[in-house]
């Protein structure tokens, strides 16, 4: 029954994708040849030759999507992950179609074809191919979002529900149940726990009761029509885990294992292979490969454009700083960034020369008496942070990321705040998720860490753009400190 539901859901996505692709095909043709968003030389070709491509498209597109895992439907799957996979698959299919049309050249009426060697051949538009690729991404994405909305609507009304048995009612098991209960739209119904602790026998957690002990798992699967078993036992119970796996292997249920060390894998732990042995990497870089390249490209583009735009303004600001006390214009301060490596952050000087000579490193406060008059304005508007665009351009920082701290503060916080050093797994930024929510400067470090880790775990270029927009909307770099 479970496999049947999975096949039905996958089939719905295949149909949705095919419909979206066909609509994108005709949309691209209209954009290219009827509305001519790309200027057309000569008369528009007939639709007929392009219809020759439709059978190939309808056959190849779902196959490529299938091999990219787009029909392995997982409830609660990241939409960002799905979209990025879709873009890669669409680029590949568009290249395949372009390669196919390079060899497939139908012979047509000489008056509407390009003559090659005296033989009339029809030539397909490369602009059409590009428009079709873009339209397909949009159409397939919208189609999938609409289909998921329908499926979510049905699940909220009790249709297509998967019944879940959580094995283990300890801390991890209770958190799993709480998350599942809190997301009814995923279509999960947590029917109960199985646990050997007699003190929990009559208790409920998140409204989910204890149904029996571990030895009752097989019977509970049959009696309660369980679709999926989630094992959430501590590591010291590994013998019990093996016995449960042995018992349920002949049952028609899905089995998921929630490791009790998941709290240490906060930054997208990766599964690696060592000559056939699976290894869980708990220190995997959250931004790697294409993601890292995309973020770096955005950093280079944004920092270069902003530096060019600010070039006429910064000399005036520098002159105002120098005129007030004849001191240095720029201020360099050691900060800790990616992988705990130190670098020197660049700022426009907003405080008196040698402001920390007698105190050592201390937090800046509101209306800090160490500030100069022009420095107060610079700090209030965060203009003093603009030279960090050069740090971004050099690759020491990113436009968006956790704000870098001074080494003295890092040494203090890493011993007091759990997971503090995880924020150094990515490049520090001029602005960040914590800053746009008001956690900047001399505010709660724990809250800033909470927001920083959320950013790292949920990073996407879309989130970076959102943070940049929030930063600009709230004031020119107002939320950097």
Q: What is the pLDDT of residues 170-198, one digit of tens each?
A: 888 898 888 888 877 778 889 999 999 88
pLDDT mean over 340-351: 86
User: Is the separation of the CB atoms in 266 and 202 below 8 Å?
Assistant: no
Strand 398-400 relative to strand 342-348: parallel, antiparallel, unpaired?
unpaired
How many CA atoms does the CB half-sphere of 65 hold within 13 Å?
A: 29
Q: What six digits make up the tokens of 47? A: 């639709």
* CA 440 and chain centroid, separation: 24
pLDDT digits (tens, 9 = 90+) for 101-130: 877 776 555 554 444 444 455 678 888 988
Measuring CA to CA, which residue among 370, 325, 327 is closest to residue 351?
Answer: 370
User: Is the separation of the CB atoms in 76 and 183 below 8 Å?
Assistant: yes
Q: What six digits make up the tokens of 435? A: 């800053």
Q: What six digits make up the tokens of 456? A: 């790292």
- E strands in 220-337: 228-231, 254-257, 270-274, 277-281, 330-336
Q: How far is it, in rounded angstroms, from Cα 481 to Cα 469?
A: 17
Look at 4 and 190; give whichever has higher pLDDT. 190
pLDDT digits (tens, 9 = 90+) for 31-62: 988 888 877 776 777 788 888 899 999 999 99
Helices 314-325 and 373-381: crossing angle in degrees, nearest 10, is 150
Look up the pTM and report it: 0.48
Q: In this structure, how many other beta carbons lie within 10 angstroms of the beta carbon of residue 296?
A: 15
Look at 85 and 397; give whichever has higher pLDDT. 397
Report the pLDDT value the prediction gives residue 102, as an integer from 0 to 100.
79
Indicate the DSSP class of residue 422: G
> Percent of the chain scored above 70 by pLDDT?
81
């Amino acid at each position: 029954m479970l496999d049947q539901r999975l096949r039905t859901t996958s089939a719905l996505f295949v149909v949705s994708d095919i419909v979206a692709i066909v609509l994108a095909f005709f949309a691209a043709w209209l954009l290219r040849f009827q509305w001519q968003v790309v200027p057309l030389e000569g008369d528009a070709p007939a639709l007929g030759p392009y219809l020759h491509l439709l059978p190939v498209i309808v056959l190849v597109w779902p196959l490529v999507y299938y091999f990219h895992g787009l029909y392995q439907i997982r409830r609660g799957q990241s939409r960002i992950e799905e979209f990025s996979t879709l873009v890669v698959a669409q680029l590949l299919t568009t290249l395949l179609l372009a390669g196919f049309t390079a060899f497939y050249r139908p012979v047509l009426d000489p008056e509407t074809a390009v003559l090659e060697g005296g033989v009339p051949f029809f030539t397909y538009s490369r602009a059409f191919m590009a428009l079709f690729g873009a339209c397909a991404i949009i159409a397939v994405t919208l189609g999938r979002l609409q289909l998921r909305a329908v499926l979510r609507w049905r699940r909220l009304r009790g249709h297509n529900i998967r019944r879940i048995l959580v094995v283990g009612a300890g801390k991890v098991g209770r958190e799993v149940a709480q998350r599942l209960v809190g997301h009814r739209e995923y279509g999960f119904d947590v029917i109960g726990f199985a646990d050997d602790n007699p003190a929990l026998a009559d208790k409920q957690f998140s409204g989910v009761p204890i149904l029996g002990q571990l030895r009752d798992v097989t019977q509970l699967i049959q009696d309660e029509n369980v679709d999926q078993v989630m094992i959430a036992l501590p590591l010291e119970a590994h013998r019990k885990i093996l016995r449960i796996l042995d018992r349920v292997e002949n049952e028609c249920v899905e089995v998921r294992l929630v490791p009790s060390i998941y709290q240490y894998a906060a930054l997208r732990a990766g599964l690696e292979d060592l000559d056939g042995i699976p290894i869980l990497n708990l220190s995997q870089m959250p931004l790697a490969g294409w993601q890292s390249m995309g973020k770096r490209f955005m950093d280079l583009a944004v920092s270069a454009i902003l530096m060019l735009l600010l070039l006429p303004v910064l000399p005036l600001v520098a002159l105002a700083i120098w005129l007030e006390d004849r001191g240095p214009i720029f201020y360099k301060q050691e900060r800790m960034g990616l992988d705990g490596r130190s670098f020197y952050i660049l700022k426009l000087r907003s405080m008196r020369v040698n402001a920390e000579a007698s105190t050592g490193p201390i937090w800046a406060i509101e209306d800090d008496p160490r500030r100069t008059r022009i420095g107060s304005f610079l700090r209030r508007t965060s203009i003093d942070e603009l030279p960090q665009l050069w740090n971004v351009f050099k690759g020491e920082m990113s436009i968006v990321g956790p704000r870098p701290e001074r080494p003295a503060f890092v040494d203090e916080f890493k011993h007091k705040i759990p997971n503090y050093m995880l924020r150094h797994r990515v490049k520090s930024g001029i602005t960040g998720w914590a800053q746009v929510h008001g956690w900047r400067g001399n505010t709660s470090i724990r809250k800033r860490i909470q927001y920083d880790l959320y950013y790292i775990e949920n990073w996407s270029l879309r989130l970076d753009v959102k943070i940049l927009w929030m930063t600009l909307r709230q004031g020119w770099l107002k939320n950097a400190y």
